[in-house]
Structure 1
Amino acid sequence: MNVNHISNLWIQRSAWLIAIRPKTLGAAVAPVLIGTALAISDGMFHLLSCLLCFLASILIQIGTNFSNDYYDFLKGADTTERLGPKRVTQSGLLEPDAVKKLFIIVFGLAVLCGVFLVVRGGWPILLIGLLSIASGILYTGGPFPLAYHGFGDIFVLLFFGPIAVSGTYYVQALEWRELTILAGLIPGLTATALISINNLRDAPTDVKVNKRTLAVKFGENFVRREIQFALILSGVLPILLVVMKPSQWPALFSLLVLWPIFGVIKVVLSDTKGCELNVVLVTTGKILLIQSLLFSVGWTAPVFLR
């Protein structure tokens, strides 16, 4: 094995890591954390279902990232003017066919993880799984890509929020609870703010390729206010949940994220543009994961302190 071969292997390995986009995986983990916390607090925790939910969710997120990389390249949305992280297809690090094959394989692995979950949870879990994979592909692919017609935000709100949290809870408890919908809005709203910051940053280049996100349709000021609303509501929702179930008061420790939330809002409302938004994009991703961790630990704390 010569030096050039080793170098090529290293470059290819690095390319796959870039394509996976590890920093986005927190959005896949967050709702599963909260759904599992709700199941634990109700005495309905199921270990295998929990682990498979985490694995399937991460695989669907990775598959979606590969799919977006591939279809954005085909539609010409990723150009040299791009302000976000490098895209492997557009930059030539990986061939389009290789990226396409991989997202099919990754979604296939997610389906395999879902077999047990479907056997346990029945058709509701089958429906959630199929819709999640289909939406991951149709986010930027297909004849009516969601992200290109301003539906990306609602997709993120639902699938990274109430749907993921409720599905995680249901496959463990085998029953539905209205509380999971409300709790699901916590990660859903923060994830929506995350994608909105991304769209705000990319608006000048998106408009050139007819990618009509809400930032393009309604303007930057609208999206800045959307981000503010989503983050504040997400930050204070634990108060309402604790009012509904006072015994879970330790979940209020998740309010600690309000401090960095207000920091993000200050930057977003200060007319910051372009690559300068990358900093708050990373911060919001961290808020999403930390917020979900604090809420989940706090919500389950009474179970372990009895």
Structure 2
Amino acid sequence: MVQSRKKANWQVWWRLLRPHTLTAAFVPVSVGTALALQEGQVNLPLFLAMLLASLIIQAATNMFNEYFDYVKGLDTAESVGIGGTIVRDGVPASTVLNIALAFYGVAIILGFYICAASSWWLAAVGLACMAAGYLYTGGPWPIAYTPLGEILSGVLMGMTIILISFFIQTGTVSLESVLISVPITVLIGNIMLSNNIRDLDGDRDKGRHTVPILLGRDNAITLLAIVFTFAFLWLTGLVLLKIVTPWSLLALGSIPKARLAVLGFRGKSLAVEMMPAMQATAQTNTIFGLLLAAGLTLGYWF
């Protein structure tokens, strides 16, 4: 009985992290570091510090989301897609907020190390990313209530993290690093888009103005498919232009998962029915990003 209770408690905190969203943190760091490998040796401690900081900031952002949606009365025990730590598991809201702030504190400490080893200009960029994580659902004008969620999450969590990961290893930002960040940026934006497609009805009732609400569900699903296609074509173009190694085409192995994501949304109206499609969208980013990182690494060795 004690062992079962411990397992249940562990699961409560694991769900609070919303692990399916953490792909938006570790994939950009992996891609940026793999690209830096082509410029010389990679500093492993810096890579690990950047990876941990990105994961912690993403997890803290999820906790802020959980806290502020509860405080504003948006989450209930029946809400789909949330950790449910407050409304279902009975964890005090203040505890969730304090853990999120503690995570930010750890991220700042890691940031000091990263900046000291590279450039203090990164402090401003890192603080901006952390502020965006807090303001996504916090503050007087939450980003989550606007059509900007997909764009900001893609740019800050995709392109920015890739470029920082590349910069701390090489001391520069190259055109190649910017171009290779584009497909990851749009795929991370797609994760947010899929989340908003699933939550369309509830978000509309709560007064939000997300992209799916403005476009309608069917058009938003079509946009999801277009973004997937753009990411695959962009990467193919980079290979054809000899900007990145042909090994990068390994990332196209994520196409079947992207197809499942789009088909999983078609004809669905209930949030619980769309959960597999949303998960497939996040998995597409994971598979694409890790295969791309593997391809870039293979391109260095061969």
Same fold (TM over 0.5): yes
Q: Provide the residue aligned with 2:38 in structure 1.
A: 41
Instruction: Sort the Cα spacing of 1:238 and 1:137 in 2 relative to 1 into closer, same or farther, 3 A.
Output: same
Instruction: Sort the Cα spacing of 1:293 and 1:10 in 2 relative to 1 into closer, same or farther, 3 A.
Output: closer
1:273 to 269, 272, 281: 269
What secondary structure, in the 3-state scheme, does the structure 2 residue paired with 1:83 have?
Answer: coil
What is the identity, as a one-letter code, of the residue corresponding to 1:28? A
Instruction: Say if 1:260 and 1:287, in contact at 8 Å, map to a contact too.
Output: yes
In structure 1, distance between residues paired with 2:28 and 2:179: 12
Instruction: Sort the Cα spacing of 1:187 and 1:85 in 2 relative to 1 into closer, same or farther, 3 A.
Output: same
Q: Which whole-Å deviations, capped at 9, do the CAs of 1:127-178 have from their partners, x for residues lacking one?
A: 2210111111000001111001222111111022111111110111011112
Q: Which whole-Å deviations, capped at 9, do the CAs of 1:81-137 have from their partners, x for residues lacking one?
A: 423244212224310110011000001111111111111232431122101111110
Instruction: Say if 1:160 and 1:187, in contact at 8 Å, map to a contact too.
Output: no
Identity fraction in percent: 25
Instruction: Sort the Cα spacing of 1:266 and 1:108 in 2 relative to 1 into closer, same or farther, 3 A.
Output: same
The Cα RMSD (Å) is: 1.9
What is the identity, as a one-letter code, of the residue corresponding to 2:268? T
Matched, 1:171 2:168: yes
Instruction: Sort the Cα spacing of 1:14 and 1:265 in 2 relative to 1 into closer, same or farther, 3 A.
Output: closer
Matched, 1:244 2:232: no
Instruction: Say if 2:24 and 2:158, in contact at 8 Å, map to a contact too.
Output: no
Matched, 1:155 2:152: yes
1:295 to 287, 292, 297: 292
Matched, 1:94 2:94: no
1:181 to 178, 181, 190: 178
Given the two structures, how large is their TM-score scaled by the length of structure 2? 0.93
Q: Provide the residue aligned with 1:31 in structure 2.
A: 28
In structure 1, distance between residues paired with 2:129 and 2:188: 15
Matched, 1:209 2:209: no
Given the two structures, how large is their TM-score scaled by the length of structure 1? 0.92
In structure 2, distance between residues paired with 1:265 and 1:112: 40
- Alpha-carbon distance, 1:222 to partner: 3.1
Q: Provide the residue aligned with 2:61 in structure 1.
A: 64
Q: Which whole-Å deviations, capped at 9, do the CAs of 1:277-299 have from their partners, x for residues lacking one?
A: 11111112222111111111111
